[in-house]
């Protein structure tokens, strides 16, 4: 996953995410990686983003900065973190799955999103010192930190 300088190899990154999240192609994996990086960019402070960006290929570190605010929004929770992933997932699998106001397909779509996020987290953590992993976990929204601690 990492090169001699400790940087993350892009092709390896996509392969890992494709395999760990059971995706159909590296192109799909690339889209997932970019979405997760954009979400990470919104919840991590600048110094912590720099720890990850320093190991990423330039275009992916730019993705992390794309919507990064000057200061992380403390109200961003797991829902807003995974929202940009679920927005891109198939949520209308069958004609009408409504039951009591719930849409059964979209209600379960976070399972796919979480699997994808954990896959990206697994790739990002390769070669990352334990203390850095711990620091980042402490800065993530509560449930997102659980996924970070249990990567795929």
Partner 1 sequence: MSVDQRAGAGRGDGRLPDGRHGPGRGLTARDYMTEQRPTWCPGCGDFGILAALREALLQEGIAPHEAVVVSGIGCGSKLPDYMRVNGFMTLHGRPLPVATGFRLANPAMRVIVVDGDGDAYGIGGNHWLHTCRRNPGLVHLVENNQIYALTKGQYSPTTEQGTRTTTSPEGSIERPVNPIRTALAAGATFVARGFAGEPKELARLIREALHHRGYALLDILQPCITYNKVNTYDWYAERIVRLESEGHDPSDFDAAWARAGEFGERIPVGVFYRTEEVPAYEERVPGLKRGPVVERPLDDLDEAAFEALERELV
Range 16-45, binding partner 1 (CB under 8 A): 35, 38
- Please identify, using beta-carbon distances, which residue of 27 and 87 lies nearer to partner 1: 87
- Helix (H), strand (E) at residue 102: strand 102-103
Range 82-141, binding partner 1 (CB under 8 A): 82-89, 91-92, 96, 98-104, 106-110, 113, 141
CB of 80 to partner 1, least distance (A): 5
DSSP-based helix, strand, coil % in the chain, nearest 5: 60, 5, 35
Contact (CB, 8 A) for 53 and 65: yes
- The C-alpha atoms of residue 132 and residue 68 are separated, in whole angstroms, by 20
CB of 12 to partner 1, least distance (A): 26
Q: Is 17 helix (H, G, I), strand (E, B) or coil?
A: helix
Interface residue list for partner 1 (CB under 8 A): 35, 38, 66-67, 69, 73-80, 82-89, 91-92, 96, 98-104, 106-110, 113, 141-143
């Amino acid at each position: 996953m990492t090169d001699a300088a400790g940087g993350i190899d892009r092709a390896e990154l996509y392969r890992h995410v494709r395999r760990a999240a059971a995706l159909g192609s590296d192109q799909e994996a690339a889209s997932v990686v970019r979405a997760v990086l954009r979400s990470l960019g919104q919840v991590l402070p600048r110094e912590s983003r720099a720890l990850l960006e320093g190991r990423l290929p330039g275009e992916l570190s730019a993705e992390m900065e794309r919507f990064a605010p000057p200061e992380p929004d403390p109200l961003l929770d797991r829902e807003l973190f995974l929202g940009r992933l679920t927005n891109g997932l198939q949520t209308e699998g069958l004609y009408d799955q409504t039951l009591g106001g719930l849409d059964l397909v979209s209600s379960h779509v976070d399972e796919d999103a979480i699997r994808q996020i954990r896959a990206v987290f697994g790739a990002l953590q390769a070669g990352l010192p334990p203390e850095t992993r711990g620091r980042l976990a402490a800065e993530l929204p509560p449930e997102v930190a659980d996924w970070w601690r249990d990567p795929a």
